[in-house]
Amino acid sequence: MKKQTFQALLDKYLDGTATVAERRLVEAYYEKLSARQGDLSKADRRLLEKVGRNLSELVQKPSGNKARIIPFYKRRATAAAAAILLLMAATTYFLWNEKPKPVNTIAKISDIQAPVTNRAMITLGNGRTVYLDSAANGSLATEGNVQLIKLADGKIAYSGSSDKVTYHTITNPKGSKVIDLALSDGSHVWLNAESSLTFPIVFNQHSRELTATGEMYFEVEKAKTWPFVVTHGDTKVTVLGTHFNVNAYDDEQDIRVTLLEGAVKISNKTGSGLLKPGEQARVSKNIHITKEVDLDAVMAWKNGRFNFDNASLSTVLRQLARWYDLEVVYEGAIPEREFGGQMQRDLSLSQILEILQKMDVKFRVEGKKLLVTAAQ
């Protein structure tokens, strides 16, 4: 291949405009050049050096038990870097734009597909439960003058008014797609798998108070005198109008509140703090505020990706357990591994495990159990 031809293809590769066939051609040619470094022409050596410089700016090579899964969202050319590194280093796992093939040894035992439907349910004020996946579009229930409606795009909304305070609870279980809920004041909430929210179907004139468990993203409608309050245990998030994400799973070490827009106040029994856009509060006993948080990583779940940035194996598997409706069982000590970056959430479980097992971790799937052990 002529240098000019390869350079043109490489430019397309780096800016994301290359076709699948062109990407594969670049990867194959680079692999060929890498294998022949000893007898390359000066022009080809310079080309390899140029690509190498690009890579050095994009990634850090893995060391020890830390594996880098390259974050696609941080740099324009990261997908290319991931593909090239795949040809150069066994510890770099996959190209983001290509789905790995299932591992036969895992797929023969069992495979679990990513959720394709939403299995959320709403518990009404009278105790009756409405299952959203089996419900037809239109009015699902009526309490007083308020109607619960399923829209054509699968969103859930409320219509009507009432002087009576009635609470509903929406529960999005493990193995369920993200659900979009429109509250009576115009605010929107997106619930991740294994999350629930209790809320009044109509807000009164004094406050808008909700109780949350799990992970959810809020886009709150502004109201001059109606504070919007989300609680989880002793922790409260208070706003007037803003966009923020709450991660409050019971099996995580702390509650994380991340602000995308506006301002929020975080409080518990030990104190309080104010968040500015791009900041995150981690709440356990005390409140710790981190500045300049990677918002793309925080919102990966809503945008169809897992976020494994600086994550331990147990953190990664907790995310998988919620999405694929699994129980994770460790056979022996939990292997100490660290990952980074993001991964598509529409992959099957076997495709995910193919990637993770390259860090010397073994998996067995037995029904809904994922058994995990370190490789010997």
Query: Which residue's structure tokens are 């598997």?
Result: 317
* Model pLDDT, residue 31: 61
Query: What confidence category does residue 64 fall into, taking pLDDT thresholds of 50, 70 and 90?
Result: very low
Q: What is the mean pLDDT of residues 173-200?
A: 95
Is residue 362 a contact partner of residue 372, using CB atoms and an 8 Å limit? yes
Q: Is the pLDDT of residue 79 over 80?
A: no
Closest CA to 71 of 340, 293, 279: 340
Residues found in the chain: 376
Q: What is the mean pLDDT of residues 24-37?
A: 60
Q: Provide the 10 A C-beta neighbour count for residue 95.
A: 22
For 373, the token pair is: 């052990």
Q: What is the mean pLDDT of residues 192-198?
A: 98
Q: Is the pLDDT of residue 307 over 60?
A: yes
On whether the pTM is more than 0.85, the answer is no
Q: What is the mean pLDDT of residues 2-21?
A: 63
Supply the mean pLDDT for the chain. Answer: 79
* Model pLDDT, residue 276: 94
* Model pLDDT, residue 65: 47
Q: Is the pLDDT of residue 86 over 90?
A: no
* Model pLDDT, residue 44: 61
Rg of the chain in Å (alpha carbons): 24
Q: How far is CA 223 from CA 82, 146, 246, in A?
A: 46, 21, 20
Ordered domains of the chain (ranges, CATH)? 3-61+75-87 (no CATH), 104-113+304-374 (3.55.50.30), 121-298 (2.60.120.1440)
pLDDT tens, residue by residue, 243-271: 999 999 999 999 999 999 999 999 999 99
Q: What is the mean pLDDT of residues 333-341?
A: 84
Cβ partners under 8 Å of residue 182, min gap 6: 155, 156, 157, 158, 188
* Model pLDDT, residue 100: 44
Q: What is the mean pLDDT of residues 344-372?
A: 89
Least-confidence region, from 111-120, 210-219, 334-343 = 334-343
Least-confidence region, from 57-61, 124-128, 144-148, 255-259 = 57-61
Query: What confidence category does residue 87 fall into, taking pLDDT thresholds of 50, 70 and 90?
Result: very low
Q: Is the pLDDT of residue 99 over 50?
A: no
Q: Is the pLDDT of residue 14 over 70?
A: no
pLDDT above 90 covers a percentage of the chain that reads: 48
Higher-pLDDT residue of 253 and 32 is 253
pLDDT tens, residue by residue, 133-169: 888 889 999 988 899 999 988 899 999 888 888 999 9
Q: Is the pLDDT of residue 84 over 60?
A: no
Q: Is the pLDDT of residue 113 over 70?
A: yes
Q: Is the pLDDT of residue 360 over 50?
A: yes
Query: What confidence category does residue 32 fall into, taking pLDDT thresholds of 50, 70 and 90?
Result: low
* Model pLDDT, residue 63: 40
